[in-house]
Chains A and B, each alone.
Chain A
């Protein structure tokens, strides 16, 4: 892997998030650890209920009661217990670490104009006047590729098209020039051709300004194109992690292989897909041991005893499996 890894700006170790429900305690995130270096893009991929979005929110300390987040260690640029202690989190969140949510238009307040919402984002962390806050918001919109920034500033969220809304959200998230951006599928609701220029823009911005990006997505093709490293999540755990080439071309975990085999693109037309059998377990009743074992062709008794640990191999390629598809060394 290339350079930036020695200088992690965000370290997450042993993150667990639980939600009590009438059916039982849901372990939405279980023992998730990763690091994020300046200028690095980490893709977090997986299906629904894998715990990707909850991980992203927990990192920013956005888990609300009755949900509970705890971690062995979350360090953001020297600030320890970040995301756990509200006092440590509050001044940094929205300023140096920002969140970009799915369907961002709906994250805006529908009855407040875009300019007021963006100026508020600036003035919450910086003691500037309204006009200079507005100027920064306008400059941010221009940088996000919006051709008519004044019209957008004067608009209410419902007046914007979906793709413009995503650009406004990006501009708002980046207006304070954060060090870390957590993006939770902001382009998921857009058509591929409309999302493409936005991905290109985000990629350029992130690489130019050295922002660390945590990119949460269910689209493996987008993750592969955008990220330096990926983490694959299943049932709350990271089952495989490493650089894109290792994880998405020569996967070691049967689930990663199954995900890639489920995409129709590499098959001959009409050929039968090697789909993963069965359905994911209910989140409140995860099986002991490996959560994937009921769907896995390689599972045996060893898989049901203890949850496998994340074994780290060459180039940081880590896999949480008793019977990995290939040796990591």
Chain B
């Protein structure tokens, strides 16, 4: 996995290898997300990524599961190139992305697109939808300026928004429609990889179901590869073939989704899976963590999870466990596996 020579994994369309970021990386993005409220900056602070490996094979959907402090959203930003990692390599389609120049680099950037959660600021409030969706393909010369209206109409049809509304501005649409416009904007530049960063979380239940169906259709029609960053177990279970679980900037477990749900290994994964979103009348008991989530700015020593872990060993306080293979295609980072 950690070969010294930077040679791309031939099966991977997109690969992140031992990617790390600084504590303050993406500060601008955090600032933006927090809506310019300085007081909130600490609660949305991004944890440093610590040697995160991630492989996306063409055509698959990978889920990135974790709480808001896990760093999944940061992995998404690094994956599409919004944040430069301070260490580690990114590969796209067999090439190291930092080696790419001009036209090839531009193609790689266009091929990696992101779907953002509907916070104010993901769609320019002063732009009309025809420009929100059509600006990038015109600027990138994928289409001519004269074709813009027709092309945007095509894209809006695809995502189920009435093309007659393309002269309207984002605030005139509901959250569900804005999500669809966000999808149209992303697919307008003909990407090969879509990174959905907490994309479905702000949507209402019925809108979310519609958009999940839409994304499934588009993925097949456009042969997209997807990375779904979410804190919702049910969404990841539904959409992803493989799942990566993160905690405070580290990958702690990864496996096929079915395998992970059936045989979770890491204590954190087990705790997370208790919140499966099933409607069970009279459940009355909620799986509880010990203590509060630690600040991502001051992660604990050793295994990041040890202060909340019900089965922590003395060693967990000192040494961070490595990600080891515990079954075919199933890796976990927990000291409990050392004893077994």
The yes or no answer to A78 lying at the interface (CB within 8 A) is: no
Structural contact, B282 and A273, CB atoms closer than 8 A: no
Q: Which of the candidate stretches A19-27, A125-133, A174-182, A259-267 sits at the interface with the other chain?
A: A259-267
Known: A193-B272, A196-B287, A269-B258. A258 touches B279 (CB 8 A): no
Structural contact, B286 and A225, CB atoms closer than 8 A: yes
Name the one of A158, A163, A199, A277 contacting B286, with C-beta atoms under 8 angstroms: A199
8 A Cβ contacts from B201-251 to A: 204-210, 212-213, 216, 231-232, 234-235, 237-239, 241
How many interface residues does B have (CB within 8 Å)?
49
The yes or no answer to A326 lying at the interface (CB within 8 A) is: no
Structural contact, A221 and B289, CB atoms closer than 8 A: no
A221 to B277, CA, bound (A): 6
Structural contact, A270 and B239, CB atoms closer than 8 A: yes
A161 to B280, CA, bound (A): 30
The residues of B that contact A260 with a CB separation of less than 8 Å are 279
Structural contact, B281 and A248, CB atoms closer than 8 A: yes
A48 to B278, CA, bound (A): 21
CB distance from B4 to the nearest CB of A (A): 37
Structural contact, B286 and A200, CB atoms closer than 8 A: yes
Across the interface, name the chain A residue whose C-beta is closest to B276.
A265
Structural contact, A270 and B238, CB atoms closer than 8 A: yes
The yes or no answer to B100 lying at the interface (CB within 8 A) is: no
A249 to B280, CA, bound (A): 8
Mark each residue of chain B from 271 to 314: 1 if its CB lies under 8 Å from any CB of chain A, else 0: 11011111111111111110011000000000000000000000
Known: A225-B282, A249-B281, A279-B176. A193 touches B205 (CB 8 A): no
Across the interface, name the chain B residue whose C-beta is closest to A246.
B281
Structural contact, A193 and B281, CB atoms closer than 8 A: no
The residues of A that contact B284 with a CB separation of less than 8 Å are 203, 225-226
Across the interface, name the chain A residue whose C-beta is closest to B281.
A244
The yes or no answer to B50 lying at the interface (CB within 8 A) is: no
Structural contact, A259 and B206, CB atoms closer than 8 A: yes
Structural contact, A273 and B209, CB atoms closer than 8 A: yes
Mark each residue of chain A from 193 to 230: 1 if its CB lies under 8 Å from any CB of chain B, else 0: 11011011001000000000000001011001110000
The residues of A that contact B206 with a CB separation of less than 8 Å are 47, 258-259, 262, 275-276
CB distance from B87 to the nearest CB of A (A): 28
CB distance from B231 to the nearest CB of A (A): 6
Q: Which residues of B contact A (CB under 8 A)?
A: 39, 43, 67-69, 174-177, 204-210, 212-213, 216, 231-232, 234-235, 237-239, 241, 257-258, 271-272, 274-289, 292-293
Q: List 30 A-B pairs, Cβ < 8 Å.
A: A47-B205, A48-B175, A161-B43, A191-B69, A193-B293, A194-B289, A196-B274, A196-B286, A196-B289, A200-B285, A203-B284, A218-B204, A225-B280, A225-B286, A226-B284, A244-B281, A245-B281, A262-B205, A262-B206, A264-B212, A265-B234, A265-B277, A266-B278, A269-B257, A269-B258, A270-B216, A271-B238, A273-B212, A274-B209, A277-B210
